A and B are shown apart, each in its own frame.
Chain A
Amino acid sequence: MDKKENLSTNETSPKYLVKLVAVLTAISVLVAAILAAVNFFTKGKIADNGSKAKEKAVLSIFTSGDESRLYKKSENEEIYLAYKDGGILGYCVFISSSGFSGDIDMMVGISSDYTTAGVKIVSMSETPGVGSKTNSDEFLSRFIGGNHSDPVKGCDAISGATISSKAVAEGVAAAHGINIDLETVAAEVGASVIQNVPESDAEETNNEPDETESSADVDDGEDANTEDTTPDEPSSENDPEPEPPSGNDNYVYGEVGGDPSYRYGRYAETAENQYRIEISRSEETAEVETDDEDETEEE
């Protein structure tokens, strides 16, 4: 046996090399054929799973809706509309933001008063048990009610899942950053917009964009002066640094080294986060205070 092999290797004849190449090619072709077959049978199902999941996500956000349709799918945006009896309840933006281990695909639903109606994660490959905790109702429901100017509502991250939760927050902010005017869209599609009954808070903050709460502004480079499409608002009197609740000298409000990643991380234990913990612990009285302060500022 050995002798034979020695002969063939000693030869290093073109015939032997051709045999090597031929065998490898043949195997590759065979395997490719099997794969092509499997792909053919599963392609449709996979695509179905993808779009079904998205439409299901839309309807799970707008629970009273009965249909969801893709409105626009371009390189930058993928927008779905939620219908109810032919009227538009709101729109959903499909956002893919980079999480800890891969992309997090989510559907951010924005209702007709431009507040977040809900967030649903369509697919993620975060660390199971850690980053995947961002897929909980408890975390995602915190984003409900945010509007264009404060999409993230200063959400605290999940301990141990800073990057994953930051990715979700960024996705929500990016969804709000896409300018959609529901009226124009409705005219295009030929449906009417069903107005959402606005909450008292939503209306107030809608008219006065809280640019002062630069907390949620993930677009770091832009200053507080860049606006959304909502008309008639004063853009000049913007104080990028709000004042912490009075009586508390221990807090320092500012960007953490220019990197927004620490804002949402309890891990990083920044002064800013402690400030937010303070707010939530004092039962939102401080929050209302800040709003009042801002209003008096701008007047």
Chain B
Amino acid sequence: MKSNVGKQFKDGVIANNPVFVQLLGMCPTLATTTAVVNALGMGAAVIVVLMFSNLFISLLRKIIPKQVRIASYIVIISGFVTAVELIIKAFFPSIDAALGLFIPLIVVNCIILARAEAFASKNRPMPSMIDGIATGAGFTFALVCVAFVRELLGTGKIFASADGTGGLSVFGGGYPGAPIFLLPAGAFLTLGFVIAAVQKIASVIDKRSQNKKTAEASETACGVARDLSYNEDEDT
């Protein structure tokens, strides 16, 4: 069970990352990544929604008939999103002010419906819930990556708080800031470059593991050949 959980997490965050690999949920990725703290808030909301919606849908999967499944999923998802929105409004008003209407927009985030349809409707509750958390973690990771770059280049400071104050100044006070990175155009640019970097890293890692595999395979083949020839030599 434990290795399964680990594998699910690795899958959700790296191998099958909803933003970098599946390219789902682009809209909040582009819109809420102007600051790392916003990205974290959005990611946390999505994790909570994913977790509960996956759990519920998995619990109800045998009861929901095929014809109304999408409608039911949407009802459940929107219910949880609204609940999360109310909780954020009550207890985290600064995050609510920062994220604005992107919290209710989680309802139409493809990731949630995709996980519900692809995983939760076919698996037991516990694995579904873990899958929800893992996918949400992957989403958060992706968002934080993009937000880090955008906030760093756009304002020169990182980890500013939700209302825009504070933050570590990395380039010093004289950095004028590149407002393009805080605008939608910069979001697309940054996302493109980040995805390219991630794909490059993934391909390098792939190639290395493949090289390792072929090296091992050839080693064993050589070893077998060596053994054979040794035996032959012995005979003569």
Q: Is the CB of A24 within 8 A of B71?
A: yes
B140: A residues at CB distance < 8 A: none
Q: Is the CB of A53 within 8 A of B65?
A: no
A39 interface residue (CB < 8 Å to B)? yes
Q: Pick the contact of B34: A19, A41, A128 (CB < 8 A).
A: A128
How distant is B87 from chain A, measured CB to nearest CB, in Å?
A: 6
Minimum CB distance partner of B67 in chain A: A20
Q: Is the CB of A31 within 8 A of B87?
A: no
Bound-complex Cα distance A235 to B90 (A) = 51
Minimum CB distance partner of A126 in chain B: B100
B91: A residues at CB distance < 8 A: 42, 45
Bound-complex Cα distance A160 to B34 (A) = 15
Query: If the complex has contacts A42-B87, A129-B164, are A102 and B100 also in contact, measured as CB distance less than 8 A?
Result: yes
A219-239 toward B: CB 8 Å interface, digit per residue (1/0)? 000000000000000000000
How distant is A226 from chain B, measured CB to nearest CB, in Å?
A: 36
B71: A residues at CB distance < 8 A: 24
B183 interface residue (CB < 8 Å to A)? yes
Query: Chain B interface mostly helix, strand, loop or mixed?
Result: helix
Q: Is the CB of A31 within 8 A of B75?
A: yes
Bound-complex Cα distance A231 to B110 (A) = 62
Query: If the complex has contacts A31-B79, A129-B34, are A42 and B86 also in contact, measured as CB distance less than 8 A?
Result: yes
A196 interface residue (CB < 8 Å to B)? no
A160: B residues at CB distance < 8 A: 179, 183
Contacting A at CB under 8 A, from B141-188, are 151, 154-155, 163-164, 179, 182-183
Query: If the complex has contacts A28-B75, A128-B182, A160-B183, are A34 and B68 also in contact, measured as CB distance less than 8 A?
Result: no
Q: Is the CB of A24 within 8 A of B100?
A: no
B82 interface residue (CB < 8 Å to A)? yes
Minimum CB distance partner of B65 in chain A: A20
B15 interface residue (CB < 8 Å to A)? no
Q: Is the CB of B72 within 8 A of A125?
A: no
A127 interface residue (CB < 8 Å to B)? yes
Q: Is the CB of B76 within 8 A of A129?
A: no
Q: Is the CB of A53 within 8 A of B76?
A: no
Q: Is the CB of B38 within 8 A of A19?
A: no
Minimum CB distance partner of B165 in chain A: A136
A127: B residues at CB distance < 8 A: 34, 182-183
Query: If the complex has contacts A23-B64, A23-B68, A38-B87, are A49 and B182 also in contact, measured as CB distance less than 8 A?
Result: no
How distant is A134 from chain B, measured CB to nearest CB, in Å?
A: 11
B100: A residues at CB distance < 8 A: 101-102, 125
Minimum CB distance partner of A24 in chain B: B68
Minimum CB distance partner of B86 in chain A: A42
B154: A residues at CB distance < 8 A: 129
Q: Is the CB of A46 within 8 A of B86?
A: yes
B106 interface residue (CB < 8 Å to A)? no
A130: B residues at CB distance < 8 A: 179, 182-183
A277: B residues at CB distance < 8 A: none
Contacting A at CB under 8 A, from B60-90, are 60, 63-68, 71-72, 75-76, 78-80, 82-83, 86-87, 89-90
Q: Is the CB of B65 within 8 A of A32?
A: no
> Which 3 pairs, one residue from A and one from B, show the smallest C-beta to C-beta distance?
A125-B100, A31-B79, A129-B182
What are 29 residue pairs bridging A and B, where the CB atoms are less than 8 Å apart in the complex?
A: A20-B65, A20-B67, A20-B68, A23-B64, A23-B65, A23-B68, A24-B68, A24-B71, A27-B75, A31-B80, A32-B79, A35-B79, A35-B82, A35-B83, A38-B86, A38-B87, A39-B86, A45-B90, A46-B86, A125-B100, A128-B32, A128-B35, A129-B35, A129-B164, A129-B179, A129-B182, A130-B183, A135-B164, A159-B179
Q: Which residues of A contact B (CB under 8 A)?
A: 5, 16, 19-20, 23-24, 27-28, 31-32, 34-35, 38-39, 41-42, 45-46, 49, 53, 101-102, 123-125, 127-130, 132-133, 135-136, 159-160
Q: Known pairs A128-B182, A130-B179; list 15 more (Cβ under 8 Å).
A: A27-B64, A28-B75, A38-B86, A45-B90, A49-B89, A49-B93, A53-B93, A102-B100, A123-B97, A124-B97, A127-B34, A129-B151, A130-B183, A136-B164, A160-B179
